[in-house]
Amino acid sequence: MEENKNMSFEDYKLPGKCDVCGKETDIVVCASSMGPISYGYCKECLNKRLEPYSAMVAYISCAGRFPDDINEYYQRHCRNILKGLNVSEEQFIKDVDEAIKEMHEYFSQQV
C-alpha cells in the first residue's frame, strides 16, 4: 500500500463547529500549539495557525506573564493569533494576569 504524505484538510474534514471562530462548517481536529489538547479548526483558522483565545490565555498564564516570561517564538505566535482574533495585546496581558491571579487564589485555598 502506497502512503500519501500530502494529506490535506479535505481528507480529514468533518462537519462541526470551529473552536476558534465558532463557525458551523467543516473542521478538522488537530493538536493545539497551546498544550496537550486538541481542538476543532475550520480551514481558515487552521491555515492561519489560530488557537482558541481561552486556551491561549490558560497556556500562557501557566508559563508566566506576557511578554516578559515568554520566549520569543511564543511571543510571535501569540501576537499572530491575537491579530487574527482581533484582540489587543493589552487585553491579552490583562486576561493572562487575571488568570494568574485566579490560579494563585485557587491554590492558596487548597493548602
Q: Where are the domains of the chain?
A: 9-109
**Phi-psi domain of 36 (left: phi exceeds 0; alpha: psi -120 through 50; beta: other):** beta
- pLDDT, tens digit only, all 111 positions of the chain: 456 577 789 999 999 999 999 999 999 999 999 999 999 999 999 999 999 999 999 999 999 999 999 999 999 999 999 999 999 999 999 999 999 999 999 988 987
The pLDDT of residue 4: 59
The pLDDT of residue 7: 79
For residue 19, what is its C-alpha cell?
473552536
The pLDDT of residue 107: 87
Q: Would you give the DSSP letter of residue 35?
A: S
The pLDDT of residue 2: 57
